[in-house]
Amino acid sequence: MFKRDYLRKPDWLKVKIPSGGEYKSIYRILQKNNLSTVCQEARCPNISECWKQKSTTVMILGKVCTRSCRFCAVMTGNPKGLLDPKEPAHVAGVIESLGLKYVVITSVDRDDLEDYGSQHYADTIRAINEMNPRVKVEALIPDFNDNTECLKRIVDARPFVVGHNVETVRRLTPYIRDRRCGYDKSLSVLRKCKELNGQMNTKSGFMVGLGEQEMEIEETLHDLKDAHVDIVTIGQYLQPTTKHLPVQRYYTPDDFDKMRQVGEGMGVGRVISGPLVRSSYHAAEVFK
């Protein structure tokens, strides 16, 4: 199905340096309010495009993740239980000042907290909904150790979408993700969210270019369909630093279109597939 590998980064993966009035305006407000976005922390290539469309991904629960996945640029370590109780209200206020139409709330993993940060996460969603009732909130959550009570807190806060990424195919999961993560654990999280509220949209995503096979891509799409996931994103893995896993393969835009066709052909509601696609890429556009 897919074309040969590419040894050098192809032209379709080259993006312009972030710029423009809208980008600078959002950047200044975020800096002034000391608010973290995964757009910056994870070095997303779409940052300028998304910010121009009044959409961003805010990262809560601090900047230090308790897990250490080999593809991720977010800082890892031990936050030692530190938590800012004012963050939910603060985030809601900044979102109001930014004039956003759609916001994705994500977070680092917080295995150092008894509830994995789920109550703080839910409080943030509620604060945004109360202060900005016209803003749609997408919650891109960690696995909360697949704890049903924690997941219920998130679902009960009524985000517009609940997302959780499987990140890669089953075989590569132990090599790419932290040992506390799990392919089946992630699928269980997605199933439970749908069981807790069958009307809520669920979403997941994974990267390609890490050594997976064509059959494994299809199996992952099939597993996500069986977990009743409504939206799936597929994007090209890009090595954030020399300390992270190297790219094994660059897929072409045609390859990504074929992946989309395979996923939608087997019954996944919507597949957003492309070289620069990330979890929150054009998140709002899916629902227009």
Summarize pLDDT for 218-265 with one digit per residue, the tens: 999 999 999 999 999 999 998 888 888 999 999 999 999 999 999 999
User: Which CATH number covers residue 241?
Assistant: 3.20.20.70
User: Does any domain span residue 7?
Assistant: no
Rg of the chain over Cα atoms, rounded to whole angstroms, equals 18
**Alpha-carbon gap, residue 233 to 218, rounded angstroms:** 13
One-character DSSP codes across the chain: ------SS--GGG--PPP-SHHHHHHHHHHHHTT--BHHHHTT-TTHHHHHHTTEEEEEES-S-BS---TT--S-BS--TT---TTHHHHHHHHHHHHT-SEEEEEE---TTSTTTTHHHHHHHHHHHHHH-TTSEEEEE---GGG-HHHHHHHHHT--SEEE---BS-TTTHHHHS-TT--HHHHHHHHHHHHHH-TTSEEEEEEEE-SS--HHHHHHHHHHHHHTT-SEEEEEE----STTSPPP-----HHHHHHHHHHHHHTT-SEEEEETT--TTTTTGGGG-
pLDDT, one tens digit per residue, over 36-78 is: 555 554 455 555 555 555 567 889 999 899 999 999 888 899 9
> Average pLDDT for residues 263-286, to the nearest whole number?
82
Other CB atoms within a 10 A radius of the CB of residue 252 amount to: 16
**Alpha-carbon gap, residue 87 to 240, rounded angstroms:** 28
Q: Is 235 left (phi over 0), alpha (psi -120 to 50) or beta?
A: beta
User: Does any domain span residue 11?
Assistant: no
Print the domain residue range for 172: 19-287
Strands across the sheet containing 161-163: 55-60, 102-107, 136-140, 161-163, 201-208, 231-236, 270-274
253-278 in b/e form (b: 16+ CB < 10 A) is eebbebbbebbbeeebbbbbbbbbbb
CB 103 within 8 A of CB 56: yes
CB 209 within 8 A of CB 251: yes
User: Does any domain span residue 13?
Assistant: no
pLDDT of residue 67: 97
> What average pLDDT is seen over the chain?
86
User: Does any domain span residue 8?
Assistant: no
pLDDT, one tens digit per residue, over 4-39 is: 444 577 876 766 655 555 556 666 666 666 665 555
CB 235 within 8 A of CB 278: yes
Domain total of the chain: 1
* Angle made by CA atoms 222, 159, 164, in degrees to the nearest 5: 35
User: Does any domain span residue 4?
Assistant: no
Note the residue count of the chain. Answer: 288
Quick one: which of 56, 35, 34, 26 has its CA closest to 44? Answer: 56
User: Does any domain span residue 104?
Assistant: yes
Other CB atoms within a 10 A radius of the CB of residue 52 amount to: 15
User: Does any domain span residue 172?
Assistant: yes
pLDDT, one tens digit per residue, over 102-159 is: 889 999 999 999 999 999 999 999 999 999 999 999 999 999 999 999 999 999 999 9
User: Does any domain span residue 3?
Assistant: no
What is the identity of the amino acid at 87?
A: E
